[in-house]
Amino acid sequence: MDTLINMAAVQRVEAAADLSFAQKVKLLRQPLPSHEVTGGNFRQWAVAVCTAEVKHRERDYLRVERELGVHVDRWDFPNNDEVGQYPHEAHAGAALLWLSHLQAHESEKRTPWSFVPFCDWRRETRAAWMQKRRDLWRGFLRAVHAYQSARKEAGL
């Protein structure tokens, strides 16, 4: 059913035979419709929205691949769903990477990796941990704001 709906777009792509594979994918891709997520804190909102964007990129790429009648081997080209991605999808993926680093860093405080509670860490160690946490938060916030700006620029 999905293929029938986009048949006109596929015919348009086939008519333009001089397009590269990436250009054909970009022509057939569709951005994720507007999504309003309410409730929760900023981190929960960012995780929900950015994960939805990245998952949509993957699923939409598979749909385009199916419509073009090609199959790109994921073993040989593991990042092939980045072909034809929108800038806001790239920023959403970057935000999730920043968040994973932030969460891994925060887990150092909550787990007994050195069997020394956070309150018993040396003052310099705690200060360095806090500074790194601030840097990771700053990177995460910049990536989320870049995602929001790119989505706004695309008119979505």
Decide which of 94 and 38 is more confident. 94
Contacts of 27 (CB under 8 A, 6+ apart): 9, 12, 13, 16, 19
**Out of 36-40, 71-75, 92-96, 131-135, which region has the weakest mean confidence (pLDDT)?**
36-40
Per residue in 22-44, pLDDT (tens digit) is 777 777 777 887 777 676 788 88
Written as one string, the DSSP assignment of 46-113 is HHHHHHHHHHHHHHHHHHHHHHHT----TTT-TTGGGTT--HHHHHHHHHHHHHHHHHHHHHHHHS-S
What does the alpha-carbon distance between residue 15 and residue 48 come to, in Å, rounded to a whole number? Answer: 38
pLDDT at 130: 94
Coil, helix or strand at residue 28: helix
Q: Across residues 44-66, what is the average pLDDT?
A: 87
pLDDT at 20: 75
Q: What percent of the chain has pLDDT over 90?
A: 31
Decide which of 97 and 59 is more confident. 97
pLDDT at 6: 61
Whether 5 shows a pLDDT value over 60: the answer reads no
Token reading at 79: 């990042």
Whether 16 shows a pLDDT value over 70: the answer reads no
pLDDT at 3: 47
**How many domains, in total, are found in the chain?**
1
Residue span of the structural domain in which 103 resides: 2-153
Q: Across residues 119-138, what is the average pLDDT?
A: 93
